[in-house]
Amino acid sequence: MSEMTPKPTPFENPAETMRDVMAKLGHHDAIDMPEHLDLTKAHLVTVPEKRRIEDLSKFHREAAEYLKPARRKGTARLADLDSLIDWSNRFKGPTSAMFANPDMAAPTLTCIADYHAVGSVDLSSSQGDPTAMPCNHRGVYDFPLSDEWKIWMAASGEPMDKDEFGEFIEANAKDIMDPTPPVLQLTHSEENEPWENRLIDTAQQIEGRYGQLSQLLAMSKRFQVFETSDLKVTSNRDTGEAEIQFLNEHKDAEGRPLNIPNLIIIAIPVFLSGAAYRMPVRLRYRKSGASLKFTLTIYNPKKSFDASFDETIVQAKEATELPIFMGRPES
């Protein structure tokens, strides 16, 4: 019996073999979303390219975030204090807090709805510090300045001629407040309102006296200054020294010494939609030859700003019952 000859292997086409291998390597299987997705754990798969491992967790998180955000985030810019209070009460939780930045150039009041919880840092947990929060959900009130405050601050300390002074007083007469009898007479009393005694104290500190709107309007129309000059020489007989003084005196048209007020009261809000705050404004005039200039200068505007800012903070704290820290929150 003769031995059977092995059946020859059929000839393999290298091009077809390469095509079949590439088809297998290029085959893609659809990967479904896990039924119970845990975004805290990695979801790993292998891909044909160099048999590398790909983490699909980030894609799952993006998809889940698109369908339903995992947490609240973003910053709301509120136009007035009432809106910030409403926003804070809508989103506040047990860890919420507010930050008040009293910078006169750029004041802010910020509510962080998801602020860190009370307590020291705890690094013992494998899940991280349980008191740490994202701090990504914020509401900010920028304390927009009122139009009245902007107008008076822009004019403060700027010289105006008589016509400019008159036009300014007429245009902003609604902001000027006539002093009450105690303020006009500078009578300090426990029966006065606190703001009256505050204005009286200011006048006494700078030796001022308050005027009324009618006086300002009359000054802007009929105010005249007549200047007289005298030369006074004082000599010392013992030493022979002499002192020379030039004395200038301003009088009205009838030759009487000028007696004009050097303070007025304005009642304006510092912040948009805020309460009006009474503040003193210094009135000065300067005569140089035939030229006469007036200046209106808000007395200690920072004090008025701070007082109005503090009132706003108290209002926000009472309305939201949230803790308020002075300064800026962590960025």
Least confident piece of the model among 120-124, 152-156, 180-184, 231-235:
231-235
In whole angstroms, what is the distance from residue 56 CA to residue 38 CA?
12
Which pLDDT tens digit goes with each residue over 3-45? 566 555 555 666 667 666 655 655 555 566 666 666 566 666 6
Residue 146 has pLDDT above 80, yes or no: yes
pLDDT > 90: what percent of the chain?
47
3 state SS of 169: helix
Q: Give 130 or 212, the one with higher predicted confidence.
A: 212
Query: What radius of gyration, in Å, describes the C-alpha atoms of the chain?
Result: 39
- CA 71 vs. chain centroid, Å, equals 27
| pLDDT at site 2 | 53
| pLDDT at site 122 | 76
* Other CB atoms within 10 A of residue 223 CB: 19
| pLDDT at site 195 | 92
- CA 44 vs. chain centroid, Å, equals 48
Q: Give 296 or 222, the one with higher predicted confidence.
A: 296
List the chain domain ranges. 74-144+315-326, 147-223+260-299
Q: CA-CA distances (angstroms) from residue 255 to 2, 191, 284?
A: 156, 40, 20
Task: State if pTM tops 0.85.
Answer: no
Which pLDDT tens digit goes with each residue over 53-94? 667 677 767 766 666 666 788 999 999 999 999 999 999 999
Q: How confident is the model at residue 252 (pLDDT cuts 50, 70, 90)?
A: very low
- Mean pLDDT, the chain, rounded, equals 80
| pLDDT at site 196 | 94
What average pLDDT score do residues 305-320 get?
A: 94
Question: Is the torsion defined by CA of 164, 166, 172, 177 positive or negative?
Answer: positive
| pLDDT at site 232 | 46
3 state SS of 284: strand
3 state SS of 128: coil
Residue 155 has pLDDT above 60, yes or no: yes
In whole angstroms, what is the distance from residue 320 CA to residue 99 CA?
13
Q: Give 178 or 219, the one with higher predicted confidence.
A: 178
What average pLDDT score do residues 288-302 get?
A: 85
Q: Give 291 or 303, the one with higher predicted confidence.
A: 303
